[in-house]
Chains A and B, each alone.
Chain A
């Protein structure tokens, strides 16, 4: 039997031929997968900065790649470079001459506090009064392009494009916590259009700082269960109290199945479908009837040419906030109906925290590994089930399962919703 190269709509089937990941659990696919399937938490106390006076003092930052003073741009780059290089190499391409486009989900960045304070401490200004007028006077005396680079949202993709040898102008995008999924979607669309036979899609986020933590904290989005950091992220539990900010990067090499088979490389999984829909209800909350989430899940499954019954496992958005987990369960129930009770669903965020811009890409990597290995990572810290959320969350221990398709959800502030559907390679 010959392998079909086109999907139910006559489009190129998309193969995943390379994977790379960095998270609080470690660097590389192997280390991450071993810990994830063992139920290990990567959440720890914040050591990057002084936490005195903060309501939340825990996070899933990546502290093993760069030093404490590294900017969000440089840390986001370091993780994207590690994951991107791993994925491109796994796919059998040169990691300095990939030769296809780059789609990058990266955090919005701006000047960091250490730069503002360092500038303010310099001489050269007539104005004594603190503020931007004074900093402008100082900047005219002491220009410093390296500070400007820490404020540039395109800086990471520029450096990655040179490092990995990608082609054309990379797209840097942000759809908040759905960004990683959106980057993959752009890659899928480019291959389906026939513009390229391969693309590298990366989500990265190294933006934990005092201010970013405080901003989420002021919106009451973060867990304050500081006592035992490893227990703080508890998606779908009754006592969940917010998400845990985290960092990391996920990378996938996408390729037309035709190209992958012609090259004779291993296909780790397939991307069968993408769905997206924006929400017009509120800046941080979902429409109460869940209609945008429902429409997004339906669109993803339909784009894949499947029905909910075909989905063997759901990689949840599962942030551990009261609102998200409830709305996600409501949306899934509307689409899956009775089938939801027999469809396992787990949240990687229980172990790695919420990697924000990177989450969709990291969770795509873990979804593909679940399909390839036939193992579902658990939702850890599931000790007090929420009676209002009746789901098989793969509680606390990984499970073997023979699955053929995975749904991965990503929802973000600003009404961003994206769903990806993955399939097994054979």
Chain B
């Protein structure tokens, strides 16, 4: 463990969101002259939700029995994980996949809205609401819904369906979970504790129970949709988006031995937390930004959530640290996806670095167009309540 840390490579990408399925679709959507999101406003009014297109789950989840055991969040993650493994060229067999480590950032808590409504309805007419809960849940809940609810069962489903069994760790806690997933996995590979790992997350935005949680804290965008950096204080907020984003990270030795294609190097993954007084908050975020990265060939993919106060602190820090760099806030197109937001940003960054393609601003007043394809990329994240993180990537050829 005392040898010099080694590089950590991105060798597989699986990305699914409201924009479509697969890395190419995402690069194309971000590369349009005037990129536009795919948003559902009517179903969830007054909220804006970046909803998924139709997906043929059977392409990555072959057994109908497996599919039936999963709710949307798990399907999305298991599907994106399958895409990443396939993209990395790892054959679908137990031997090849039994040594792959896995770190999943996950929320959880799938509900059965009809059962919940039934409990509330019956409780209104009872003076013993606890008895109503006991009786209704005991008779109406599907037993297997529990398994669609537990946070670590996204990883559990990936083990079952995609056969990844080297190890399985689930990190929780909104944006922080996504940041920690990269921090921990990168450190393990760099130090020799792991050779190859599947890392990522999924978030299903198409859940009213989640909208309820977020709006109780007044976090959601209720005004007309606009790009994340243009949302003004008082009319700001988060538009949540469904995302499944997984990557294969690998040591150079391991990647070379199996002749893997390499998207990019993951140079660093840093994160911190602390109180959110403006000065301390700004200082802490600045301290995460790597030095010596500025230039016209640097692309900053901002994970701005749509909360105006946070965007201001982030923008000021980025303006000062990287005056020459291009900047795109990818949540404008994909929506905010909490645990999955950092994985989505890192997937996009690696894809842009490898392809030489560019992402165009959807908000030219607040973003900065790329003057040339990026050679290096930073992905930033400011958690909606806490945690700040930055991942740095570099092109390999």
Residues of A within 8 A of B (CB): 9-12, 49-55, 106, 108-111, 113, 116-117, 120-121, 129-133, 135-136, 139-140, 143-145, 147-148, 151-154, 157-158, 161-162, 168-176, 182, 186, 189-190, 192-195, 210-211, 214-219, 276-284, 292, 412-416
Contacts and interface: CB of A to CB of B under 8 A. Distances in A.
Interface of B: 1-2, 69, 94, 102, 106-109, 111, 113, 116-121, 123-124, 128-131, 133-135, 137-138, 141, 143-147, 149-153, 155-157, 159-160, 163-174, 176-177, 179-180, 183-184, 187-188, 191, 193, 208-209, 211-219, 222, 271-273, 275, 385-387, 389
Contacts of B174: 152-154
Contact of B169 (A117, A182, A215): A182
18 contacts: A10-B2, A111-B212, A130-B121, A132-B113, A136-B212, A139-B215, A148-B216, A154-B386, A169-B183, A172-B172, A174-B172, A195-B187, A214-B134, A278-B155, A280-B163, A281-B160, A414-B150, A415-B168
Contact of A153 (B137, B157, B173): B173
A108 B108 contact: yes
A11 B1 contact: yes
B176 A186 contact: no
Contacts of A216: 146
Contacts of B389: 169
Contacts of B130: 49-50, 52, 210
Contact of B159 (A51, A158, A210, A415): A415
Contacts of A283: 69, 144, 147, 153, 156-157, 160
Given A51-B134, A278-B159, A219 B217 contact: no
A173 B181 CA distance: 10
Contacts of A161: 273
Contacts of B94: 280
Contacts of A133: 208
A414 B208 contact: no
Nearest to B219: A148
Contact of B176 (A106, A111, A154, A416): A154
Given A154-B174, A154-B177, A414-B150, A219 B143 contact: yes
A148 B209 contact: no
Nearest to A209: B133
A116 B215 contact: no
Contacts of A143: 215-218
Contact of B187 (A110, A117, A193, A219): A193
Contacts, number: 252
Q: Which 4 A-B pairs have the closest CB atoms?
A: A154-B173, A414-B156, A148-B217, A131-B117
A282 B211 CA distance: 31
A418 B150 CA distance: 18
A355 B266 CA distance: 38
A162 B176 CA distance: 16
A195 B1 CA distance: 11
A192 B141 contact: no
A192 B193 contact: yes
A161 B187 CA distance: 21
A210 B155 contact: no
Q: Which of A139, A210, A217, A278 has the most CB of B within 10 A?
A: A278
A277 B138 contact: no
Contact of A189 (B152, B193, B211): B193
A221 to B, nearest CB: 10
A218 B386 contact: no
Contact of A131 (B102, B113, B128, B184): B113
A175 B134 contact: no
A158 to B, nearest CB: 6
Contact of B272 (A49, A113, A117, A169): A169
Given A117-B120, A132-B209, A280 B165 contact: yes
Nearest to B164: A278
Contacts of A186: 169, 184
A173 B208 contact: no
Given A52-B134, A108-B109, 5 more contacts: A120-B120, A132-B208, A172-B171, A172-B176, A415-B160
Contacts of B150: 108, 174, 176, 413-414
Contacts of A192: 1, 191, 193
